[in-house]
Amino acid sequence: MAEEHKHEESIMEKIAEKIHGHDNSSSSDSDDEKKASSIKTKIYRLFGREKPVHKVFGGGKPADIFLWRNKKVSGGVLGAATLSWILFELFQYNLLTLFGHISILALAVLFLWSSASTFIHKKPPRIPEVHIPEEVVLQLASGLRIEINRGFTLLRHIALGRDLKKFLMVIAGLWVLSKVGSSCNFLTLVYSATVLLFTVPVLYEKYEDKVDDFGEKAMKEIKKQYAVLDEKVLSKVISKIPKGAFKKKD
């Protein structure tokens, strides 16, 4: 009986040790997860980005095109944009004239080919049914709507005089845009934006850590210079404005 009792005690001790060891391992795992999460939160991302670049562009096929997930489609879109810019900007082609000439040539070739196939006993050309997918259009429209609403919200926030820093940044951006617009026409501006859209995001995704590290240093320097500007210039200008200057007189 004594030996059986000792054997039962040893079994209970082993079970207790296993439970205790499991608790320690689970606690250590939770500590590791907390440390990992704290490390992740400390990583700086450009413009306060929290989502991957693919998600920032809305995900799906539009993001795949901009980030060159499908190189054939992305190259085709960029090639078409480049060809359009060359025809309209360099050769001074008119849009309606170009559309008319291409349509006449395509329809004439297909019509003659289809008509001649009955005489030469060959199969007529296979003309695929072309249609725009509804999902792609809805994703593009949804992403565009979200960005436009964000822009309107930001402009309203600035117009209410709540953020002097953003006000100065927007004024500087609009001034740069006006200078760029005066030096080139609208078509060149759109094409330049298209090229940037197809090159900058994919390069940023490839060298994300290096760019974010450089951006963090640049933002620290900008904040430092802004603090100096705020202390020496902006605060003095604001202090000279009478507090009741914009209030109605009683």
Confidence of residue 241 (pLDDT cuts 50, 70, 90): low
| CA dihedral of 245, 247, 248, 250, whole degrees rounded to 10 | -100
Of the candidates 153, 143, 168, 141, the residue with the CA atom closest to the CA atom of residue 222: 168
pLDDT digits (tens, 9 = 90+) for 75-122: 999 999 999 899 888 888 887 888 898 899 999 998 988 888 877 777
- Cα separation, 116 vs 138, whole angstroms: 41
Residue 68 and residue 202 in contact, taking contact as beta carbons nearer than 8 Å:
yes
Confidence of residue 141 (pLDDT cuts 50, 70, 90): confident
pLDDT digits (tens, 9 = 90+) for 13-56: 655 555 545 444 444 445 555 444 444 445 767 666 777 888 87
In angstroms, how far is CA 213 from the centroid of its own chain?
Answer: 18
DSSP per residue, 190-242? HHHHHHHHHHHHHHHHHTHHHHHHHHHHHHHHHHHHHHHHIIIIIHHHHHHS-
- Cα separation, 148 vs 145, whole angstroms: 5
- Radius of gyration in angstroms for the set of CA atoms belonging to the chain, rounded to a whole number: 32
pTM score above 0.85: no
List the chain domain ranges. 132-183
- Cα separation, 120 vs 2, whole angstroms: 106
- Cα separation, 91 vs 147, whole angstroms: 34
SS3 102: helix
